[in-house]
């Protein structure tokens, strides 16, 4: 990998710019003046009319009152000023700056960016000596890589310039042995709004903030460590929020109250030589750093990526043991500390969540590769902010969440450190998940507050999941689909293997298990599974026999193919494909219809117990209301898992060697028909089990509105252009084997329009469904022409779709049926049919 700046450029930048050297090789060389002497001479020269240097004597800038911190560069605090003293040996060295939110405004809940712990920007910079008495900071991009065997990359870089993003006047210089140190004042630059130590413009848009208010912003702390400089700032910004709907639909004016954030900026010194990377493969779920490779394709540029992972290598004396297959300890194990502010009763569970990953690293040949430790309380040199220390950070916040970010080297993907965010209120999230998914089979969950042991085990699960992210692993939404549903009810099997092969799945808890199965926590809780151990082995196995990442490619590809043939539980399913029903959040098993049937059985067991299980003396019904909403949400998840099978598409990432696997397959017709049959039975036939009048009296829940919204949202999803277009594509490929829109309408008629097939008069729920059905189809019709009679430019170039034609044809047929039904009805039902006819006719007239 070539450096962005050529060696010649770096050498040029290191040539001193003050003082001249004789070019006469026969003259006796004079002793070179030091920088301090040069400053004195420059000031003397000014008396003779020569230009005066801006440099001052070192002792006049860095006075005896300076408080000095010795990090990878020196930081001096003099009065209220911060000075960086940068050795010339650091010129041209890559430094990574990462900015995150420490504290956020109390009203930031609806913003895209703004939670404590949120990443807001990063960039790689280099310091370099500029002309005269100036120091430059350049932003360095690593989106283009090459081994430069063809010279193409260097040719491109020679025609590009990395931008100078900051310029600092030198205050003074100091010689230290053979090193020259340059001193700049960073105070004003850090204080004012800038992308190096604050929000990027993109992050500002997400946080809905504008210009920074200078007199309400300041530097809080600045600390130096051997690998990093930590800058804590408080920044106040003007709001940039649009007006929002207020009472009675009137627009409420945008708030003008400023917002204040506490930000942390970490400046990390990157290694001189990057770690040997490992190339990303979409069949194993790792986060990755993308770039353009100028050598991979001789006739063009190839997009590639390096996975993010920690640098693990055996100790020099253990190399032969490692290569023989013995377990050895790595040179630098991954150590994750527990924030000393963490409530003590949860510390053992957080530690166990870290240490649970040791078994996975043993698959990669390392023992004691990852270690959870309590942070020392008697070591004044230990700091949570020191980049040498990774940690699970406790945040006493009402945010119900946890996150596992990491800082990595963009050149290679090497993970440098992590600060996992564990918000106190994640426990409320865990409570809601567990009671609604497991209370039917676990008596310990049937109470308004869990015992510490149960909550501790839930915290351990979250800890393990977030640690997995900090090891580089992505969510594996496809993992749970590799398990047959009936295995989830097999006590011996599920307790031995777990209900999903990956803790990185959003599988939560085993909601398929039934009370009569007698399954314990071992078969209900997620754990580090078969896939996780394989993924760690694939990403962390040390392979010195391959000099480069490219040299590993053939072996890694063969390895993946063999694993997938051995057991499909090694499968990775991306979290970003919403069309593949195998890769869904919070689903279980290989059959969504069967798994959801079991899940609904358990929800029906919970419903009549809601007020009993949430009862607390001297309290209201808030917990009962919340549990009801969670039951509704869980039921909605089940219907969504099923619906995704309709017009679903299986996508399989493959290499050319996988000749037996298709890259794209449509969900078979019989599965799609089963999915519609399930929805007809469980959703479009009114789920009256959600209508508990006593619960409504006590909690105020409006179950009519709840059921109506559940039905309407799924029906609109079914009768959407996206669904109908995928059905058309399926029919084009598979002909009569495809499940078509005509068949979909016929199957839905069995429940939604059962009255047209001789069923009973539609009640208020069914009438609402029928109106939603008609309006969904009307929304698919071609948009009306403009007043000039010409379609807009945007609509003229829309992708072709049969959905408008399909919708029009079905509406015409439906209108005929409604006319007959109206003639044979009376009262509100007759008016209902007439209203639907009128809606269709008006839509046709409007869209002529």
Q: Per-residue pLDDT tens for 248-285? A: 444 444 557 899 999 999 999 999 999 999 999 999 99
Decide the pairing of beta strands 119-129 and 67-70. Answer: unpaired
Residue 230 burial (CB count, 10 A): 20
Residue 607 burial (CB count, 10 A): 15
In angstroms, rounded to a whole number, what is the distance separating the alpha carbons of residues 455 and 176? 57
Closest residue by Cα to residue 644 from 568, 593, 595: 593
Reply yes or no on whether the pLDDT at 150 is more than 80.
no
Q: Maximum distance among all alpha carbons in the chain?
A: 119
In angstroms, rounded to a whole number, what is the distance separating the alpha carbons of residues 457 and 108? 31
User: Which pLDDT belongs to residue 144?
Assistant: 73
Reply yes or no on whether the pLDDT at 107 is more than 80.
no
Reply yes or no on whether the pLDDT at 753 is more than 80.
yes
Decide the pairing of beta strands 370-374 and 67-70. Answer: unpaired
In angstroms, rounded to a whole number, what is the distance separating the alpha carbons of residues 119 and 115? 9
User: Which pLDDT belongs to residue 152?
Assistant: 58
Segment among 234-243, 426-435, 438-447, 604-613 with least mean pLDDT: 234-243
On whether residue 729 sits in a domain, the answer given is no
Percent of the chain with pLDDT over 90: 77
- pTM of the predicted model over 0.85: yes
Q: Per-residue pLDDT tens for 688-706? A: 999 999 999 999 999 999 9
On whether residue 68 sits in a domain, the answer given is yes
3-state SS class at 176: strand
Q: Per-residue pLDDT tens for 764-775? A: 999 999 999 999
3-state SS class at 293: strand
Closest residue by Cα to residue 63 from 183, 147, 149: 183
In angstroms, rounded to a whole number, what is the distance separating the alpha carbons of residues 626 and 614? 10
Residue 314 burial (CB count, 10 A): 21
| Cβ contacts of 404 within 8 Å, gap of 6 or more | 418, 420, 421, 465, 466, 467, 468, 469, 470
3-state SS class at 839: helix
Alpha carbon separation from 303 to 158, 284, 290 (Å, rounded): 21, 18, 7
Residue 325 burial (CB count, 10 A): 7
Q: Per-residue pLDDT tens for 483-518? A: 999 999 999 999 999 999 999 999 999 999 999 999
Q: Which range of residues forms the domain containing residue 143?
A: 7-17+53-243+255-269
Q: How many domains does the chain divide into?
A: 1
User: Which pLDDT belongs to residue 791?
Assistant: 53
DSSP 530: H
3-state SS class at 63: coil
Task: Yes or no: say if 171 and 70 are a contact pair by the CB < 8 Å rule.
Answer: no
In angstroms, rounded to a whole number, what is the distance separating the alpha carbons of residues 680 and 673? 11
Res. 30 pLDDT band, cuts 50 70 90: very low
Reply yes or no on whether the pLDDT at 728 is more than 80.
yes
Query: What's the average model confidence in pLDDT over 599-612?
Result: 98
Res. 292 pLDDT band, cuts 50 70 90: confident
On whether residue 97 sits in a domain, the answer given is yes
Closest residue by Cα to residue 818 from 846, 839, 843: 839
User: Which pLDDT belongs to residue 119?
Assistant: 82
In angstroms, rounded to a whole number, what is the distance separating the alpha carbons of residues 206 and 542? 40
Query: What's the average model confidence in pLDDT over 112-138?
Result: 87
Reply yes or no on whether the pLDDT at 243 is more than 60.
no
Reply yes or no on whether the pLDDT at 414 is more than 80.
yes
In angstroms, rounded to a whole number, what is the distance separating the alpha carbons of residues 96 and 139? 10
On whether residue 308 sits in a domain, the answer given is no
Res. 147 pLDDT band, cuts 50 70 90: low
Per-residue b or e along 31-46, where b marks 16 or more CB atoms closer than 10 Å to that residue's CB: eeeebbebbeebeeee
On whether residue 181 sits in a domain, the answer given is yes
Res. 247 pLDDT band, cuts 50 70 90: very low
In angstroms, rounded to a whole number, what is the distance separating the alpha carbons of residues 170 and 68? 18
Res. 7 pLDDT band, cuts 50 70 90: very low
Query: Which sign, positive or negative, has the C-alpha torsion 770, 776, 777, 783?
Result: positive
On whether residue 233 sits in a domain, the answer given is yes
Q: What is the CA radius of gyration of the chain?
A: 33
On whether residue 139 sits in a domain, the answer given is yes
Return the bridge partners of 128, or none: 136
| Cβ contacts of 541 within 8 Å, gap of 6 or more | 364, 365
Res. 41 pLDDT band, cuts 50 70 90: very low
In angstroms, rounded to a whole number, what is the distance separating the alpha carbons of residues 294 and 223? 40
Percent of the chain with pLDDT over 70: 86
Strand stretches in 552-660, DSSP E: 649-651
Closest residue by Cα to residue 408 from 268, 538, 541, 276: 268
Alpha carbon separation from 226 to 77, 384, 785, 823 (Å, rounded): 17, 14, 67, 85
> Regarding predicted confidence, which is higher, 207 or 677?
677
* Mean model confidence pLDDT for the chain: 89
Closest residue by Cα to residue 574 from 565, 583, 582, 566: 583
In angstroms, rounded to a whole number, what is the distance separating the alpha carbons of residues 735 and 742? 13
In angstroms, rounded to a whole number, what is the distance separating the alpha carbons of residues 481 and 25? 78
On whether residue 619 sits in a domain, the answer given is no
Query: What's the average model confidence in pLDDT over 47-58?
Result: 67
Q: H/E element holding 453?
A: helix 452-470
Name the one residue in this structure whose structure tokens are 């430094």: 95
Structure tokens at 612: 């009993």
Segment among 73-82, 146-155, 443-452, 557-566 with least mean pLDDT: 146-155
Return the bridge partners of 417, or none: 407
């Amino acid at each position: 990998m070539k450096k962005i700046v050529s060696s010649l450029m770096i050498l040029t930048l290191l040539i001193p710019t003050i003082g001249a050297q004789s070019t006469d090789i026969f003259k006796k060389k004079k002793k070179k003046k030091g920088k301090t002497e040069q400053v004195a001479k420059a000031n003397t020269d000014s008396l003779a009319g020569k230009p005066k240097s801006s440099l001052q004597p070192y002792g006049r800038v860095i006075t005896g009152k300076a408080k000095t911190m010795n990090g990878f560069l020196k930081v001096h605090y003099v009065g209220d000023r911060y000075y960086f003293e940068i050795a010339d040996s650091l010129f041209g060295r890559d430094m990574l700056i990462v900015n995150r939110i420490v504290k956020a405004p109390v009203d930031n809940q609806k913003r895209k960016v703004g939670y404590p712990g949120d990443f807001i920007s990063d960039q790689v910079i280099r310091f370099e000596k500029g002309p005269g008495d100036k120091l430059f900071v350049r932003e360095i991009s690593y989106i283009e890589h090459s081994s430069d065997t063809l010279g193409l990359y260097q040719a491109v870089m020679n025609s590009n310039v990395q931008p100078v993003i900051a310029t600092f006047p030198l205050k003074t210089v100091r010689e230290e042995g053979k090193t020259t140190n340059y001193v700049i004042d960073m105070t004003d630059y850090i204080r004012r709004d800038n992308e190096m130590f604050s929000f990027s413009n993109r992050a500002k848009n997400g946080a809905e903030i504008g210009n920074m208010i200078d007199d309400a912003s300041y530097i809080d702390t600045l600390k130096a460590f051997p690998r990093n400089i930590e800058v804590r700032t408080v920044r106040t910004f003007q709001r940039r929020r649009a007006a929002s709907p207020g009472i009675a639909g009137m627009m409420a004016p945008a708030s003008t109250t400023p917002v204040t954030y506490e930000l942390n900026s970490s400046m990390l010194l990157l290694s001189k030589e990057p770690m040997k990377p490992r190339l990303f493969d979409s069949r194993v779920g790792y986060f990755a750093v993308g770039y353009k490779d100028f050598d991979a394709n001789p006739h063009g540029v190839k997009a590639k990526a390096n996975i993010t992972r920690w640098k693990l290598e055996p100790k020099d004396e253990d190399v032969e043991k490692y290569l023989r297959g013995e377990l050895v300890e790595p040179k630098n194990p991954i150590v994750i500390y527990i924030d000393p502010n963490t409530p003590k009763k949860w510390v053992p569970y957080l530690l166990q969540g870290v240490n649970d990953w040791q078994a996975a690293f043993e698959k990669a040949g390392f023992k004691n590769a990852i270690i959870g430790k309590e942070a020392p309380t008697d070591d004044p040199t230990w700091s949570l902010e020191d980049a040498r220390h990774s940690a699970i950070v406790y945040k006493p916040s009402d945010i119900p969440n946890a996150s596992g970010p990491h800082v990595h080297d963009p050149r290679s993907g090497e993970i440098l450190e992590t600060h996992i965010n564990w918000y106190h209120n994640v426990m409320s999230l865990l409570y809601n998940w567990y009671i609604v998914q497991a209370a039917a089979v676990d008596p310990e969950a049937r109470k308004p507050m869990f015992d510490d042991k149960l909550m501790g085990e839930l915290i351990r699960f979250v800890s393990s999941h977030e640690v997995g992210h900090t090891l580089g692993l992505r969510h594996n939404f496809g993992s749970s689909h590799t398990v047959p549903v009936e295995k989830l009810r097999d006590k011996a099997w599920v307790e031995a293997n777990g209900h999903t092969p990956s803790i990185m799945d959003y599988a939560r808890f085993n909601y398929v298990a039934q009370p009569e199965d007698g399954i314990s926590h071992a078969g209900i809780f997620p754990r580090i599974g078969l896939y996780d151990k394989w993924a760690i082995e694939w990403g962390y196995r040390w392979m010195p026999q391959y000099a480069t990442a490219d040299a590993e490619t053939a072996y890694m590809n063969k390895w993946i193919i063999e694993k997938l043939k051995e057991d499909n539980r090694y499968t990775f399913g991306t979290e970003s494909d919403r069309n593949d029903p195998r890769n869904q959040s919070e689903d279980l098993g290989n059959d969504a219809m069967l798994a959801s049937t079991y899940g609904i059985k358990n929800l029906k067991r919970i419903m009549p117990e809601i007020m009993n299980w949430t009862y607390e003396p001297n309290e209201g019904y808030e917990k009962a209301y919340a549990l009801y909403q969670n039951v509704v949400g869980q039921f909605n998840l089940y219907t969504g898992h099923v619906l995704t099978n309709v017009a679903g598409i299986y996508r399989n990432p493959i290499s050319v060697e996988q000749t037996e696997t298709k890259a794209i397959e449509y969900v078979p017709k019989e599965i799609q028909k089963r999915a519609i049959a399930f929805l007809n039975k469980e959703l479009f036939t009114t789920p009256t089990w959600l209508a508990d009048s006593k619960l409504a009296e006590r909690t105020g829940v409006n179950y009519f509105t709840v059921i109506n919204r559940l039905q309407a949202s799924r029906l609109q999803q079914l009768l959407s252009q996206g669904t109908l277009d995928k059905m058309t594509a399926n029919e084009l490929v598979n002909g009569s084997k495809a499940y078509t829109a005509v068949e979909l309408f016929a199957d839905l008629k069995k429940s939604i329009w059962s009255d047209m097939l001789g069923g009973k008069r539609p009640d208020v729920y069914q009438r609402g469904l029928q109106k939603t059905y008609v309006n969904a189809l009307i929304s698919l019709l071609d948009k009306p022409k403009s007043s000039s009679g010409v379609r807009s430019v945007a609509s003229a170039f829309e992708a072709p779709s049969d959905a408008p034609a399909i919708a029009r044809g079905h509406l015409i047929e439906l209108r005929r049926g409604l006319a007959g039904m109206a003639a044979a009805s009376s009262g509100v039902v007759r008016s209902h049919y007439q209203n639907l006819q009128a809606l269709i006719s008006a839509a046709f007239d409007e869209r002529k």
